[in-house]
Amino acid sequence: MNDEQPTTRPWWLLPVGRVRPVWWAIIGVAMLAIDYVGGPDSQFPVLYVIPVILAAWYSGRKAATWLGVTIPLFHLVVLLFGLPPGQNTTLLAIMTVARGVVILIMALWFARLSEHERQLLRYVVKLEGLLPICSMCKSIRNEKGVWEPLEAFIKTRSDADFTHGLCPTCLRRHY
């Protein structure tokens, strides 16, 4: 039997919440520096997607879009103004723009996935374990040992509301 609870987050995920976008900008600048050292033929710009995805997941769509646009733009500026004259920069510029488009699409996609996860976390409420319930009145014994009605117990631990009615069997039996 698996002792790990299904709600446990993997160790490698940052906590749920927001991270200041400045951290992703710092990581983006570090990626640019490594790419600059690697030279114009470096295939390292593909890794620009890492800080952009992290920014999308932990800082939102705005930070991811900003980073997804500025990193390829700065890479393009470095290519156009940092290369020696006479070197063909047209193909490098086209490839940088294409990578930038892919990175921007991934940023928007991961930002949407992050928003979706946050919405799911807001709506999912789970009761776990054994509930001591009275077999007659259906009251539940809470953590303090006090018996409270089922509706009150669930209402205080979730966003559920109750409506009351009679099922067809009870309606026939009692009325």
Query: For 36-75, what is each residue's pLDDT tens digit?
Result: 776 656 655 567 778 888 888 888 888 888 888 888 888 7
| Mean pLDDT of the region 73-96 | 74
Please state, in angstroms and rounded to a whole number, the distance separating the CA atoms of residues 102 and 93.
14
Are 119 and 166 within one domain? no
- Is 95 inside any structural domain? yes
The closest alpha carbon to 87, from 34, 32, 35, 39, belongs to 39
Q: What is the dihedral of CA 114, 17, 44, 27, to 10 degrees?
A: 150
Full residue range of the structural domain in which residue 45 is found: 21-123
- pLDDT category of residue 127 using cuts at 50, 70 and 90: low
Whether residue 112 is found in the same domain as residue 29: yes
